[in-house]
Amino acid sequence: MNILEQTISLNGLRFYAYHGVEAQEAVAGGWYRVNLTMKADVSNAIASDNIEDTLDYGKAAAIVKEQMEIPSKLIEHLAGKIAKKLIECYGNRLKSVPVTVIKENPPLGIVCDESTFTLSLER
């Protein structure tokens, strides 16, 4: 059996947060979603059924939540903080992590469902 790739994804993590350049965004806040895909060798977990042999996605969700609670002006900055913290947490076990931050209904003065930024960090 050849394993080509192993990923653990969390999609649609949803938060009400206070990010943005405009002053009213810091006061009123808005809805955000975060998607991430952690690429790592978790081959041992396939056989062992042991959480110590994988990347605990509960920890990943907690990291995202923690970073979402710290206001940032830019979703680019926010995605960078999340990706860096995930790499710090999992160390060499995490090969790469694309993180997407989605700002729902951004204040543009026109109808826009969402603005999105994706950053991929690789060890």
**CA distance linking residue 80 with residue 72, whole number of Å:** 11
Chain-centroid distance of CA 69 in Å reads: 13
Q: Which of 110, 75, 86 is nearest to 36 (CA)?
A: 86
The answer to whether 81 is a known catalytic residue is no
User: CA-to-CA distance for 60 and 29, rounded, in angstroms?
Assistant: 23
Residue 106 CA to its chain's centroid (Å): 19
Q: Which residues are catalytic?
A: 103
